[in-house]
Chain A
Amino acid sequence: MLSISIKKVIEMSVLLEVKKLKKYYPVLGGVLKRKVAEVKAVDEVSLSMFKGECFGLVGESGCGKTTLGKTIIRLLEPTAGSIYFDVPKDVKEEINKLENSADRDSSRLKELRKKYDLAIYKGIMLKIMRRKMQIVYQDPTTSLDPRMLVKDIISEPLVVQGLAKGQGARSRVVEILSKVGLTEKHLYRYPHEFSGGQRQRIAVARALVTNPEFVVLDEPTSSVDVSMRAQLLNLFQDLQKDLNLTYLFVSHDLSVVECISHRVAVMYLGKIVELAQTEELYKNPLHPYAQALFASIPIPDPTVKKRRIVLTGEVPSPVNPPSGCRLHTRCPKVMEICAKEEPELKDIGNGHLVACHLFQ
């Protein structure tokens, strides 16, 4: 019921396309503070998201999933790569053609990219784009200004974007509040007067007030109690249907992602290692890392005994990732080629992509 059949995949339009996105952090060292190394937080990630889907992004801490989410909406500056948001099909085809041809530096390509490539937007274009892409943070206690009233917190995006003022802003705020399940009398309170679940709702309201099309949900249920979690997840699903939103659901909680996402991607050390529809991925993970990851979720059923794949060692540092396939130092199925060549993310059928030499 949550998975999208193949036919629908082709019919649905691509809302967001990320091409070879990189986010490197320089490591400065020495007396003159020169760049001695780079933290490759996101290393050439390409993916597309369909309109109206919930795209799950999982991985352990340090894999770069939060960085990817924030880079896509330009909270962080991408080091390289392109982001195409809601670009008409023909323009996209033209860009693809130009990029694949020898005509890399053509002025036409530059012109198109300046107009459509989110990664290089500046100034007023960037500001307008922010209306359509928003983010909900993990911890609602720190993501809401403790000195501002709820009404100011939620109306701030409208004021800053110049969309509404005064009475217009107020009625829009009330409208959004009712959508997230809060009422008008909550307007004149401070965030610390609310419970964790309610604060998260306020954060969601703030994200939705400018009518965005794409929302990054950065571990939105991790700081919330188990009983609140279900309420929030219901809210996310209802809002998605109601407002036709597209979600990027970043989380390390694999069971939650399984229940809410249509497709899921697994990240390791800045790269996507596997991507598939949720049911397919959880039933049949192919990449050894994905297999280890799914095998390590504790199942709330004492009668089930699982076969455990324990990955030896620790996650290597993203400053000096291993050569070739990044998992090769810990992989139980490592081969000779894994240390030399990096595997490509290939589609092995059914929209299931894997980056592993076992399938190349």
Chain B
Amino acid sequence: MDVRTRLRDFKASIGPAWSELKFTLRRIRKSPLSIVGIVIVMVYVIIAISAPLLAPAVDPRDPYAIFHDGYGPIPRPPGSPVLDSYVIGRGWMAHYFGTAEGQLDIYYGCIWGTRTAFRIGVLVVVISLLIGLLTGCLSGFYGGIIDEILMRFTDVILAFPGLILAMALVIALPLSWSIDIGFLILVILILFAPILIGRFLKIGNIRAFMLSLLGLATFAILYGWVLGNPLIYPWTLNLTNLDKVLIALALVGWPSYARVIRGEILRVRQEDYIEASKAVGCSDFRIITRHVLPNSIYPIVIMASLDIGSIVLTAAALSFLGIGAPVGFADWGQMISFARNWIWAGIENPWKYWYTFTIPGLFIFIFVLGWNLLGDAFRDILDPTLRRK
């Protein structure tokens, strides 16, 4: 194909996507709540990315450790000046949001806590999503006994109480999980499970292997980038309590995705165009990936964005209870747990230490609100039945 035709093709192929995008943007504009949601999430993303700028790390080796300005038990109000000379030397003049018990700076905790919140939300949702998608797809498309087995398995997982599993894992899993055993088992599972499933379902070895490579790659990326500290090599894993909590939440969070995608696939499977693809000679794999999935993925997107908010909330609750981030780790739930003793400060002037719990609480509240609005916005925009009204 000569360059001109290629260019023309490219421009023409962008055309419909562009008009769809314009239509989507118009719908967003007409719904002010969606704009609010998008703005909120954007603001948080900016805060998370620019955390080192907004709140320069006092301890460069561990930026997530909230610095202490002394060790006094009584929280100090917002605007109080920094007393510790070392901290002043690192560029901090005042406590913008005040300090919590133990003189931990609230501002610092909240800003770096944003990064933690994203890590929690995104990691858990992505892992749940992957597991749920795989299960739901196989279950929905093949039906029969595979469907039965997978769905019963899903039911079992659904019955697990997530918080209790989180607590159990925190206790059960060792602090630094020896890579040689645990990590290797995980790698082997991810590598070979698709091949086994593929052989069972006659997808074809090459395709199954590609699937497993894909799974491995995703796992490695998530691992190294989100979970671990980039300063530490990805294969020496120091599992903090927070990570164990994340694993627990991910392990119990996927059934709802599996069910939803299975339902969608069952619906889409009956459509005429799927049968038409079969009439043309498409393989099952092609039908799933190119016809069924693109048409059934929207409820999942909506669920995922709503889930990010609720996962962060759950993790905050766990941190408040003491299971979760280690003490002094920048995490919103942690910050509120520091305010435990200071919520009510006596008869006269009971809200004297309001800043200890209100400010981190607001951060959580607005974060979850933003993702919820975003999820609603996605639903209004992407729901094909509402689209063309």
Interface residues of A (CB under 8 A from B): 73, 75, 127, 130-131, 134-135, 137, 139, 142-149, 156-157, 160-161, 166-167, 185, 187-190, 192-193, 203, 206, 210
Q: Mark B292-307, 1 if CB is under 8 A from A, else 0.
A: 0011000000000000
Extra contacts besides A130-B279, A143-B272, A188-B15 (9): CB < 8 Å: A137-B272, A139-B272, A142-B273, A144-B276, A145-B277, A160-B280, A160-B286, A187-B12, A192-B388
Q: How far is the CB of B375 from chain A (nearest CB, A)?
A: 21
In the assembled complex, the CB of A25 is this many whole angstroms from the nearest CB of chain B, namely 15
A167: chain B residues at CB < 8 Å are: 1
Chain B residues whose C-beta falls within 8 Å of the C-beta of A192 in the assembled complex? 388
Interface pair A160/B272, CB less than 8 Å apart: no
Picked from B12, B272, B276, B290, the residue with its CB within 8 Å of the CB of A188 is B12
A156 to B273, CA, bound (A): 12
Closest Cβ–Cβ distance, residue B337 to chain A (whole Å): 47
CB distance from A174 to the nearest CB of B (A): 12
Is B348 interfacial (CB 8 A cutoff)?
A: no
Given B16, B280, B282, which contacts A189 in the complex, CB threshold below 8 Å? B16
Q: For the complex, give the distance between the alpha carbons of A203 and B272 in Å.
A: 11
Q: Are A127 and B15 in contact (CB under 8 A)?
A: no
Residue of A nearest to B14 (CB): A188
Contact of A166 among B1, B20, B278, B279 (CB under 8 A): B1
Q: In the complex the two chains form, what is the Cα distance from A149 to B281 in whole Å?
A: 19
**B291 adjacent to A161 (CB under 8 Å):** no
Given contacts A142-B271, A145-B291, A192-B388, contact A156 B282 (CB under 8 A): yes
Q: Bound state CA distance, A146 and B15, in angstroms?
A: 16
Mind listing 20 A-B residue pairs with CB under 8 Å? A131-B281, A135-B279, A142-B271, A142-B273, A143-B273, A144-B273, A144-B276, A145-B295, A146-B273, A148-B290, A148-B291, A156-B282, A157-B280, A157-B281, A160-B286, A161-B281, A188-B12, A188-B13, A192-B388, A206-B280
* Contact status A75-B280, CB under 8 Å: no
Question: Contact mask B252-288 → A, CB, 8 Å, 1/0?
Answer: 0000000000000000000111011111111100100
Residue in A131, A142, A145, A188 whose CB lies within 8 Å of B16? A188
CA distance A131 to B294 in the complex (A): 26
What separation, in Å, do the CA atoms of A142 and B272 have in the docked complex? 5
Per CB-CB distance, the 10 closest pairs between chain A and chain B, nearest first, are: A143-B272, A188-B12, A157-B280, A142-B272, A130-B281, A145-B273, A127-B281, A147-B294, A137-B272, A160-B281
Chain B residues whose C-beta falls within 8 Å of the C-beta of A149 in the assembled complex: 13, 16
Contact string against A for B residues 123-150, beta-carbon threshold 8 Å, 1 for contact and 0 otherwise: 0000000000000000000000000000
A161 to B372, CA, bound (A): 45
In the assembled complex, how far is the CB of residue B280 from the closest CB belonging to chain A, in whole angstroms?
4
B350 beta carbon closer than 8 Å to chain A: no
**Most chain A Cβ neighbours within 10 Å, of B13, B15, B273, B282:** B273
Q: How far is the CB of B347 from chain A (nearest CB, A)?
A: 64
In the complex, A157 Cα to B277 Cα: how many Å?
8
Residues of A near B276 (CB, < 8 A) are 135, 137, 143-144, 203, 206
Tell me whether B12 and A156 are in contact (CB under 8 A). no
Q: What residues of B have a CB within 8 angstroms of the CB of A137 in the complex?
A: 272, 275-276
Contact present for A160 and B282 (CB under 8 Å)? yes
> Which residues of chain A are within 8 angstroms of B275 by Cβ–Cβ distance?
75, 137
Query: Of A144, A145, A161, A192, which is in contact with the most chain B CB atoms at under 10 Å from its CB?
Result: A145
Q: Say yes or no for B384: interface residue by CB 8 A criterion.
A: yes
Which residues of B are found within 8 Å of A160, using beta-carbon distances? 280-283, 286
Contacts of B277 in A (CB 8 A): 145, 156
Q: Once bound together, how far apart are the Cα atoms of A190 and B276, in whole Å? A: 17
Closest to A144 in B: B273
Closest chain-B Cβ to A192's Cβ sits at a distance in Å of: 7
A-chain residues with CB within 8 Å of residue B283 when the two chains form the complex: 160
Q: In the complex, A185 Cα to B16 Cα: how many Å?
A: 12
Closest to B270 in A: A142
Residues of B contacting A146 in the complex (Cβ-Cβ under 8 angstroms)? 273, 295, 384
Chain A residues, Cβ within 8 Å of B291 = 145, 148
